[in-house]
């Protein structure tokens, strides 16, 4: 179905059993304690699939789930898996979320308390507009990106601050793992472990092996835009830029082992720098294998990672979008990926006048994630935080009117949920700050 002709008509996958005391209304109090709510999830990729599976496992809060995406068949495949794994029936709908009026129509029909946007960053503003028109709260996992330029900045979404505040609605931005849990880890460290943070390093290691010479673990278009962008970190009140993938360090990750990691720009650097002006230096590191980098170099050199349209035999194609069509679907990697991810933050600062370095991190096993939800750990570590953020909003543990980044919200209920929802974290005190 092409853009602009979305069908907001959703079909009940099966009538959901109404348990005693349950209502399918937008937001109700059950037994005076738990609020149960309807949620509309947009995007039936790897992250959307994990989030919806986990919501179904949390049906005490998520009373009714509708999954909408560009292709209905993908929603239905996820719905079938959710029913088989959890016994919960969810509704599905076909939706082109670039079409604001189609999303508003779906919101009016479903009457959700919250829209969870797990489509692509290109849809963020259209879905935020639809939430304002439909009068519902909003949550996403990645900041808005224009299609024709890699920006990775929050300016467009921060511009919605007044509109959400005046409407009395809450928009939570970047509630995945990174961005997401990493900012929560930093906020937790600042609240409980350090009186002041001087330097912060975010370390993202995927120690998984999917057996393909080249594939990306989440949407290839977004992933390759991110990796090929110049590196940038925050230091002494300004951004310091360098060539992409030019600063390599080795780090020994718990339960994974030593890996090469590279300095990169990542979107939470912007919100951390804004909400923690005390931090002198903030950096982001991600691990890459040699085979991935070799392929990436060749693909970049021949122009296959370009995001501007080129003319080919009379038609315009965007090379990166064409490359995406050739690569394995990230969702298909789940069954074949072995190993673990380790993502965390290292913060150095002062505690009771003494210098202290703390490391807060989570290790997630690809095979365990797949066994539980049918998706590998990269989707799992994003979809679970999205579900947790949605849960906290629906139960009122997180509330407010306006646009919020993760650094602005209480980390404690989020950290507690991570432990009980499959993403347990550890805190280690390191003997010394990082030396690189
Ligand atoms: P996928 O590409 O696997 O899934 C995206 C889904 O959105 C697809 O089902 C796609 O439909 C659907 N979609 C795309 N355009 C539209 C549209 N116009 N209307 C409705 N649906 C649409 O991506 P992922 O699941 O890997 O990632 C989802 C989001 O999570 C992305 O924004 C990504 O950047 C973010 N992310 C965040 C991370 C974090 O830690 N914060 C980490 C990883 C990802 P179709 O199937 O038809 O293509």
* Cα 120 to ligand 1 centroid, rounded to whole Å: 4
* Cα 195 to ligand 1 centroid, rounded to whole Å: 38
Quote the pLDDT of residue 187: 98
Quote the pLDDT of residue 194: 98
Residue 147, ligand 1, Cβ within 6 A: no
Residue 45, ligand 1, Cβ within 6 A: yes
Chain segment 364-402, per-residue pLDDT in tens? 999 999 999 999 999 999 999 999 999 999 999 999 999
**Band (96; pLDDT cuts 50, 70, 90):** very high
Instruction: Compute CA distances 8 → 5, 93, 398, whole Å.
Output: 9, 7, 30
Work out the angle between the directed axes of helices 377-395 and 366-373 (0-180°, nearest 10).
60
Higher pLDDT, 127 or 27: 127
| Measured distance CA(105)–CA(85) in Å, rounded | 30
| Measured distance CA(54)–CA(303) in Å, rounded | 39
**Band (120; pLDDT cuts 50, 70, 90):** very high
Higher pLDDT, 330 or 107: 107
Residue 385, ligand 1, Cβ within 6 A: no
Residue 121, ligand 1, Cβ within 6 A: yes
Quote the pLDDT of residue 13: 27
Please say whether the beta carbons of 381 and 180 come within 8 A.
no
Chain segment 280-301, per-residue pLDDT in tens? 999 999 999 999 999 999 999 9
Residue 382, ligand 1, Cβ within 6 A: yes
* Cα 139 to ligand 1 centroid, rounded to whole Å: 14
* Cα 428 to ligand 1 centroid, rounded to whole Å: 33
Q: Which of 44-48, 146-150, 260-264, 275-279 has the lowest mean pLDDT?
A: 146-150
**Band (337; pLDDT cuts 50, 70, 90):** very high
Q: Atom 41 of ligand 1 has which residue's CA nearest to it?
A: 176
Quote the pLDDT of residue 8: 29
Peptide bond before residue 179 is cis, with ω within 30 degrees of 0: yes
Quote the pLDDT of residue 19: 32
**Band (36; pLDDT cuts 50, 70, 90):** low
Residue 74, ligand 1, Cβ within 6 A: yes
Quote the pLDDT of residue 148: 81
Note the pTM of the prediction, 2 decimals. Answer: 0.90
| Measured distance CA(231)–CA(244) in Å, rounded | 5
Joined together, the tokens standing for residue 242 give: 């360098």
Chain segment 228-237, per-residue pLDDT in tens? 889 999 999 9
* Cα 42 to ligand 1 centroid, rounded to whole Å: 9
Joined together, the tokens standing for residue 11 give: 């079909």
Chain segment 198-238, per-residue pLDDT in tens? 999 999 999 999 999 899 888 888 888 888 889 999 999 99
pLDDT above 60 (res 78): yes
Quote the pLDDT of residue 11: 30
pLDDT above 60 (res 1): no
* Cα 22 to ligand 1 centroid, rounded to whole Å: 31
Ligand 1 pocket, mutate which of 40, 42, 68, 70 (most atoms under 8 A from CB):
70
């Amino acid at each position: 179905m092409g853009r602009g002709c979305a069908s907001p008509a959703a079909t009940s996958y099966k009538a959901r059993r109404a348990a005693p005391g349950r209502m399918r209304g937008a937001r109700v109090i059950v037994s005076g304690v738990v609020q149960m709510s309807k949620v509309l999830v947009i995007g039936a990729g790897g992250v959307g699939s994990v989030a919806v599976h986990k919501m179904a496992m949390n049906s005490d809060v998520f009373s009714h789930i509708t999954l909408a995406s560009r292709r209905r068949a993908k929603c239905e495949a996820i719905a079938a898996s959710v029913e088989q794994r959890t016994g919960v029936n969810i509704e599905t709908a076909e939706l082109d979320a670039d079409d604001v009026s189609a999303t508003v129509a779906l919101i009016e029909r479903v009457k959700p308390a919250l829209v969870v946007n797990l489509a692509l960053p290109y849809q963020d503003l259209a879905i935020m507009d639809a939430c304002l028109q439909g009068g519902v709260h909003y949550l996403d996992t990645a900041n808005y990106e224009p299609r024709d330029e890699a920006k990775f900045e929050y300016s467009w979404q921060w511009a919605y601050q007044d509109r959400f505040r005046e409407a009395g609605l809450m928009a939570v931005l970047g509630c995945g793992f990174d961005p997401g849990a990493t900012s929560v880890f930093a906020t937790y460290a600042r609240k409980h472990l350090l009186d002041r943070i001087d330097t912060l390093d975010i370390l993202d290691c995927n120690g998984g092996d999917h057996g393909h010479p080249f594939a990306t673990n989440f949407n290839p278009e977004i992933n390759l835009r991110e990796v090929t962008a110049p590196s940038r970190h925050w230091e002494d009140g300004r951004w310091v830029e360098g060539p992409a993938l030019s600063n390599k360090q080795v780090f020994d990750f718990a339960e994974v082992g030593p890996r090469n990691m590279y300095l990169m720009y990542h979107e939470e650097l912007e919100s951390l720098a804004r909400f923690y002006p005390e931090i002198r230096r903030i950096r982001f590191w991600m691990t890459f294998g040699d085979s991935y980098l070799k392929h990436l170099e060749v693909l970049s050199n021949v122009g296959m990672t370009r995001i501007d349209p080129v003319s080919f035999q009379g038609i315009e194609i965007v090379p990166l979008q064409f490359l995406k069509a050739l690569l394995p679907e990230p969702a298909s990697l789940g069954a074949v990926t072995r190993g673990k991810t380790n993502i965390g933050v290292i913060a150095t600062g002062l505690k009771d006048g003494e210098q202290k370095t703390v490391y807060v991190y989570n290790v997630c096993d690809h095979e365990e994630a797949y066994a539980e939800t049918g998706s590998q750990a990269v989707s799992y570590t994003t979809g679970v935080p999205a579900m947790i953020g949605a849960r906290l909003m629906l139960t009122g543990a997180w509330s407010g009117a306006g646009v919020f980044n993760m650094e602005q919200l209480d980390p404690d209920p989020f950290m507690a949920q991570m432990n009980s929802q499959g993403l347990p974290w550890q805190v280690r005190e390191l003997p010394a700050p990082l030396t690189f």
